A = this chain, B = another copy of it.
Amino acid sequence: MFKLCVLILVMSIDKKEHIMDVAVALFAEKGYEGTSIRDLAHEADVNIAMINYYFGSKEKLFVALLESKARYMRERIDAVQNDASLTELEKLNQIIDGYVNRFLSQPAFHRVLQQELLVTNREILHQNVIELFTKNTQDVVSIIEKGVRKKIFKKVDPPLLFASIIGTINQVMLSRSMCNILMNKAPGTDPYQDPELKKRITQHIKQLVQDHLLIQPALQKQK
């Protein structure tokens, strides 16, 4: 009874968004192809026809969903990059903070994105995400290279270091049960809710990057 009331309230605000929210959750759980419109309609408590009425088709719903939620990805690194008052390491640290925050704040959507990237065939998203990723990679790489030129950083493999940063976060988010194992939590719980997790991940990555980059880590630590 209470659930019904909440549902009606939520739906009255914006039915389209309600459908999209349910879609993200279902796609994350079953995959895009694995989720039928009937599943979605039932779970969102709307008629099957409403989905095509609002979005046109299943694929268009998917695209709408991506464009709506992917905005949090588009926030570029420009701001950080052009801030002259920051050292290269500080820039990297801020970028790490940004990625961890964004990725962990929307685990379901993140999962949908990852799924889509692993399906080479479907071109809808691939192109867009790749493009964004290219830009981000180049930005981070150029920051690292600048640090290397300044002799602040050791000579490293910049693109692969970027892969390590992103890859660490992705790995933690790959599977809920995997995350629970990594975090030494009970198998059933939802690890992404824990604010401690975010802190732990950022700390680890920052330390990892710092150790890898700085020529005299001991000295830097003291400052």
Contacts and interface: CB of A to CB of B under 8 A. Distances in A.
B164 A121 contact: no
A163 B208 CA distance: 12
A159 B185 CA distance: 12
Interface stretch (A43-51, A78-86, A165-173): A165-173
A39 to B, nearest CB: 10
B171 A167 contact: yes
A203 B115 CA distance: 28
Interface stretch (A6-14, A25-33, A63-71, A91-99): A25-33
Given A118-B114, A208-B161, A169 B167 contact: yes
Interface residues of A, number: 54
A38 to B, nearest CB: 15
A74 to B, nearest CB: 17
Contacts of A150: none
Contacts of A157: 200, 203-204
A122 interface: yes
A29 B119 contact: yes
Contacts of A207: 156, 212
A204 B159 CA distance: 10
Contacts of A34: 33, 119, 121-122
Contact of A177 (B118, B126, B166): B126
B122 A175 contact: no
Interface stretch (A16-24, A54-62, A129-137): A129-137
Contacts of A217: 211, 217
Interface of A: 28-31, 33-34, 111, 114-115, 117-122, 126, 130, 133-134, 137, 156-157, 159-164, 166-172, 174-178, 181-184, 200-201, 203-205, 207-208, 211-212, 217
Given A31-B115, A118-B118, 8 more contacts: A30-B120, A115-B118, A120-B176, A130-B181, A164-B167, A167-B170, A170-B174, A211-B211
9 contacts: A29-B120, A33-B33, A120-B176, A161-B208, A163-B168, A166-B171, A170-B170, A208-B212, A211-B217
